[in-house]
Structure 1
Amino acid sequence: MYGLVNKSIQELITTNFGEEKWDIIKLNSGIEIDYFISTEPYDDSITFKLAQAASEELNVSVDEILFVFGEWWILKTGNEKYGGLMKAGGNNLKEFLINLPLFHDRIMLLYPKLTPPEFEIAEIEENSLVLYYISKRDGLVGFMKGLLSGLGKLFETPVEIDHINSKENGHDNEVFKVSW
């Protein structure tokens, strides 16, 4: 993942719990990087170590940390740093989700070494759709749910996220039914 992801985790922790808590989490993660450079790629294990250390320090599950981070990513990092790209995705939650398969194509222009997930949209109805989350990375279901929740908040649309199929249960991909 790019450094901007790890920097965003740092901002989430310092904003909500203070610099001292971040220092503890970073120390407990075993990561010896002083400063994350937004435009540089880092090994995924760094992000997972930060999430694990935050989980232990804050006494919540890794999935809860990833969920909160997903919301943060949309509402703070994405909206504040990439507002133009976010607005180009659609005027409401449904439009944004339908356009989601094209979103990372635009992001890859900024971050050419990005290994993004893919999305497929199916069963589009008036107030719901099915989203296929196709990723080479495992362990990010909580983050994906947080992203979807954050999009609901961004578009001021209450959202319900049902995880209907998972890799853990033998399916090829993670599948979510998103309703609003």
Structure 2
Amino acid sequence: MKGIIFTEFLDLVENHFGLEVLDQILEMSEDQGIYTSVGSYDHKDLVKLIVNLSKTSDVPANQLQEVFGESVFKKLLATMPPAAAVAQSTNSFEFIRHVEDYIHVEVKKLYPDAVPPSFEFISETETELVLNYKSARCMSHVCLGLIKGCANHFEQKLDIQMKPLNETGSEVRFNITLVN
């Protein structure tokens, strides 16, 4: 997992919970908290940090993942080249489609060892998008937050339903409806 995810998570914890809580969860996780935005790290370290933040804050881990995904959306968007098709998107559905068609493809070119999640698009109309999220990291709530961040960016109201497709959470169906 790319380091920008870790650095943004640590910033979020410090900004919303304080430096003392950040130090506490790093200690609980036996993590020095030394990450670079371009480095690659084991996603299990992020999971430990989230679980320990949940224990410390009494906020459910899934809710923390969702808040994180929503908050990190703009930061990740800012890393996109302005001329990229994804940056030219005009609505949430178009952007989400470009994540699979452009962002994940570019990530694999830049980092051949990267294994980003994948989206399998099931159906799409002007008002509804159905897709399956697949990731061995089982972080669909981060994906949910990213979709919410995307909707905020495009100033659209979306109704987003999630349905696990297996017991591990590595595959989740998202039913996303544009609300007028």
- How does the TM-score come out when normalised to structure 1? 0.87
Structure 2 counterpart of 1:70: 69
User: What displacement does 1:99 show?
Assistant: 2.3
Determine the C-alpha separation between the residues in 2 that align with 1:120 and 1:172: 13
| Aligned partner letter, 1:78 | L
Relative to structure 1, is the Cα distance of residues 89 and 142 closer, same or farther in structure 2, using a 3 angstrom cutoff? farther
Deviation digits for residues 28-61 of structure 1, max 9, x if unmatched? 2221x34102222111210100101111111111
Q: Secondary structure at the match of 2:124?
A: coil
Q: Does the CA contact (< 8 Å) of 1:41 and 1:113 recur in 2?
A: no
Q: Which runs of 5+ in 1 are unaligned?
A: none
Alignment of 1:128-143 (within 5 A): 128-138=128-138, 140-143=139-142
Structure 1 counterpart of 2:150: 151
- How does the TM-score come out when normalised to structure 2? 0.87
Structure 1 counterpart of 2:21: 21
| Aligned partner letter, 2:26 | K
Deviation digits for residues 87-140 of structure 1, max 9, x if unmatched? 5362211211232321211223333321111112122112111011121222x1
| Aligned partner letter, 1:176 | F
Q: Secondary structure at the match of 2:51?
A: helix
Determine the C-alpha separation between the residues in 1 that align with 2:85 and 2:19: 29
Relative to structure 1, is the Cα distance of residues 86 and 10 closer, same or farther in structure 2, using a 3 angstrom cutoff? farther
Relative to structure 1, is the Cα distance of residues 127 and 15 closer, same or farther in structure 2, using a 3 angstrom cutoff? same
Count of residues in correspondence between the two structures: 176
Relative to structure 1, is the Cα distance of residues 19 and 82 closer, same or farther in structure 2, using a 3 angstrom cutoff? farther
Relative to structure 1, is the Cα distance of residues 145 and 172 closer, same or farther in structure 2, using a 3 angstrom cutoff? closer
Structure 1 counterpart of 2:93: 94
Identity among equivalent pairs (%): 27
Structure 2 counterpart of 1:108: 108
